[in-house]
Amino acid sequence: MELDNQILKFTDECNRIHKEEFARRRKHQDDLKYQIGEKERIQQKEKQDKIYEERAAKLWEMEYQKRINDHKELHQKKVFF
């Protein structure tokens, strides 16, 4: 009877340790998944920011070129008149 109780306690302790280890591993996996997700979100935001910056620079360049061309046209009209 005493041996059965010790075996039962040992089995319960092994099960408890196994459950704690499983929970610890699960938490670690969840933490890693969260970190990976955060890194991907940051990279995506940086990529999107870069695209927006490039687009803004291109629009500024186009507007600048348009103003230069408008000035050239205006100057050419004044020269011919």
> Which one is predicted more confidently, 8 or 78?
8
16 Cβ contact partners less than 8 Å away, ≥ 6 residues apart = none
Q: Extract the tokens encoding 5.
A: 């109780």
pTM tops 0.75: no
Q: What is the DSSP letter of 81?
A: -
DSSP per-residue letters across 46-69? HHHHHHHHHHHHHHHHHHHHHHHH
Confidence band, pLDDT 50/70/90 cuts, at residue 79: low
Q: Render pLDDT for 1-59 as a digit per residue (tens, 0 to 9).
A: 899 899 999 999 999 999 999 999 999 999 999 999 999 999 999 999 999 999 999 99
